[in-house]
Amino acid sequence: MEVELNNKTATPSNTDGSVQFSHVTAVATGWMLDFMFVSLCRRFKEGKLDGFNETLSVIEAISQSPSHRRDPHDEKTMICAFLARVMHGKQLDVLFEDDNGVMPLMSAAKIWSYLKETVEDESLFKNIMTLLLVQSVAVCLEKGQKSSAASALKWIENNCKLPKSLGVKLSTIVTQRDTYHPFLMSFSFSRLLETIQSFLNAYLEKNPSDDLLKAATKAAQSSQNLETFEDTVTQDTCLLEKANESTEKDAKNKVRLRLVEFQCSINNLICGTEMFCEYTNSASCSQHENKGHYVR
């Protein structure tokens, strides 16, 4: 009877009889995806490409698992795809689309247009779009690829709502190959990253996605407190052992000192006795000698 009970608990189809285990799995998987999404945003902020790519791979693996297939047009999935393109923005040979002429930032601009509803601040949305378009051209010029810059500008004109004034400025910059044009310096790549970070901060504040993060943080804090307590106990034990060793050494030293003092007393006593004997013997001899000399 006990064996059968163990078998049942080993492979449960439900948790407490009221919730299907598959539903629990879906919730847990959702928490994992949310945690990895927050981690991806953190890696983006830190600018650590290797860590970013590693986290993105985990998100892709979880998203493709049978237990949880996230809608490819889901907000967070789109944001992940957007961030991936921006992180590789200066790597012109990295492809995210079938069209080889679409470079990372151009593809990012396309996805950003789909994310308009996720941005409450319209001016922020427009600012990021402008930065994406400008940097799509600027990165090519920075790499010394004028033809790619011209192609990027043409693609932008055909696929994006490019303000006329912005189009004229970019066309002039491409013609002059002016990599250090004040306009490009004003709409720099670093500014693009900073502005996107502002969007992420606002998005995460509205959509915390931190259920697993809170639980993991609490567990980590408890573990850290336990480790701190254990370290304190270990330090106190070491101090106590050192104190005991010091006390034992002092006691041994005192015993040794007493033995030395005792030995010195004995030696002094022996030396005094020998000196007395020598004095007595020499005195006796002198008397005999004197007596003999006096007789003669």
Q: What angle do CA 84, 86, 87 make, to 5 degrees?
A: 65
Of 17-31, 53-67, 145-159, the range with the highest mean pLDDT is: 145-159
**What pLDDT, on the 0 to 100 scale, is given for residue 161?**
86
Average pLDDT over residues 247-269: 51
Task: Please state the three-class secondary structure of the chain as a single string.
Answer: CHHHHHHHHHCCCECCCCCEHHHHHHHHHHHHHHHHHHHHHHHHHHCCHHHHHHHHHHHHHHHCCCCCCCCCCCHHHHHHHHHHHHHCCCCCCCCCCCCCCCCHHHHHHHHHHHCHHHCCCHHHHHHHHHHHHHHHHHHHHHCCCHHHHHHHHHHHHHHCCCCHHHHHHHHHHHHHCCCCCHHHHHCCHHHHHHHHHHHHHHHHHHCCCCHHHHHHHHHHHHHHHHHHHHHHHHHHHHHHHHHHHHHHHHHHHHHHHHHHHHHHHHHHHHHHHHHHHHHHHHHHHHHHHHHHHHHC
Alpha carbon distance, N-terminus to C-terminus of the chain: 129
Average pLDDT over residues 234-241: 60
**What pLDDT, on the 0 to 100 scale, is given for residue 227?**
59
- If one compares 27 and 49, the residue with the highest pLDDT of the two is 49
**What pLDDT, on the 0 to 100 scale, is given for residue 279?**
38
Instruction: Name the one residue in this structure whose structure tokens are 């490409």.
Output: 49
**What pLDDT, on the 0 to 100 scale, is given for residue 237?**
60
Buried b (16+ CB within 10 A) or exposed e, 69-78: ebeeeeebbb
Least confident of 6-20, 76-90, 175-189: 6-20
In the chain, the percentage of residues whose pLDDT exceeds 70 is 64
Q: How large is the angle between the packed helices 122-142 and 164-176, nearest 10 degrees?
A: 20
For the stretch 115-149, pLDDT in tens is: 999 999 999 999 999 999 999 999 999 999 999 99
> How many Å apart are CA 115 and CA 79, to the nearest integer?
8
Q: Give the global pTM.
A: 0.68
For the stretch 62-88, pLDDT in tens is: 888 776 666 656 899 999 999 999 999
Neighbours of 287 (CB within 10 A): 10
Average pLDDT over residues 227-253: 58
> How many Å apart are CA 60 and CA 68, to the nearest integer?
11
> How many Å apart are CA 238 and CA 234, to the nearest integer?
6
**What pLDDT, on the 0 to 100 scale, is given for residue 257?**
47
> How many Å apart are CA 94 and CA 88, to the nearest integer?
7
Note whether 36 and 58 are within 8 A (CB). yes
Average pLDDT over the chain reads 77
In the chain, the percentage of residues whose pLDDT exceeds 90 is 49
- If one compares 258 and 212, the residue with the highest pLDDT of the two is 212
Cβ contacts of residue 170 below 8 Å, gap of 6+?
133, 134, 137, 153, 156
> How many Å apart are CA 274 and CA 267, to the nearest integer?
10
Q: Which residues does residue 20 pair with via DSSP β-bridges, in sequence order?
A: 14
Instruction: Name the one residue in this structure whose structure tokens are 């490819």.
Output: 72
User: Is pLDDT of 292 > 60?
Assistant: no
User: Is pLDDT of 13 > 80?
Assistant: no
Length of the chain as a residue count: 296
